[in-house]
Homo-oligomer: A and B are copies of this chain.
Amino acid sequence: MALQKISKKEIIAISIRMFRKQGYYRTSMADLAKATGLTKGVFYHHFASKEELMKTALTTLSAWFEEKIFKAAYLPDITPQEKFDRIAESAIKAFTSDLGGCLFANTILETAHVEETFLPEIKHFFQNWENAMCKVFEEKYAQQALVEIAKQNIADIEGALILMQLYKDTSYLQRTLERLKKML
């Protein structure tokens, strides 16, 4: 009856944090076992492989972003500015914590050319984000231009996250978001 020290959810949360900070290849199963207070044996009892764990981490985090952050784009009866602010505020928290940036972007740069394994999960995340940004900007821009605006927004934020990680300074993200808001 499972006197479990730690839940599967918590294991995944800790894995996300480590993958985001250290990268996929540099994070070993031993690292994760130690961080969760489990043994490798128990870890492999939960996940068949490191790859499966990473996929689970990506889909879990993607669902979390959708529910906790992007969903604000679809709320009725609030202004686009208000939508933007809500998303921006929670995105700052999510991306700046531990100065880890965006797990999906980090993973693309780390693995894209070596294996296509995680591409579907990563593309799904960016598609959700893009859809949300389209919704935020839909009143202001023509349908045709929307997607491009949305992608540009996303690219600019990801770029700011790189400088954030380089200089260990979160103000790049803040300033970029302020600039993007003026497009509304």
Contact = CB atoms under 8 A, between A and B. Distances in A.
B26 A105 contact: no
Contacts of A109: 23, 101, 105-106, 109-110, 162, 165
Contacts of A23: 25, 109-111, 114
Contacts of A123: 166
Interface of A: 21-23, 25-26, 98-101, 105-106, 108-114, 122-123, 126, 148, 151-152, 154-160, 162-163, 165-166, 172, 175-176, 179
A165 B104 CA distance: 12
Listed residue (A110, A126, A154, A179) with the most chain B CB atoms within 10 angstroms of its CB: A110
Given A157-B159, A158-B159, A159-B159, A166 B108 contact: yes
A17 B159 CA distance: 22
Contacts of A108: 162, 165-166
A167 to B, nearest CB: 8
Lowest 8 A-B CB distances belong to which pairs?
A159-B159, A155-B159, A25-B25, A158-B159, A21-B113, A158-B162, A106-B109, A155-B160
A30 to B, nearest CB: 15
Contacts of A166: 108, 112, 122-123, 126
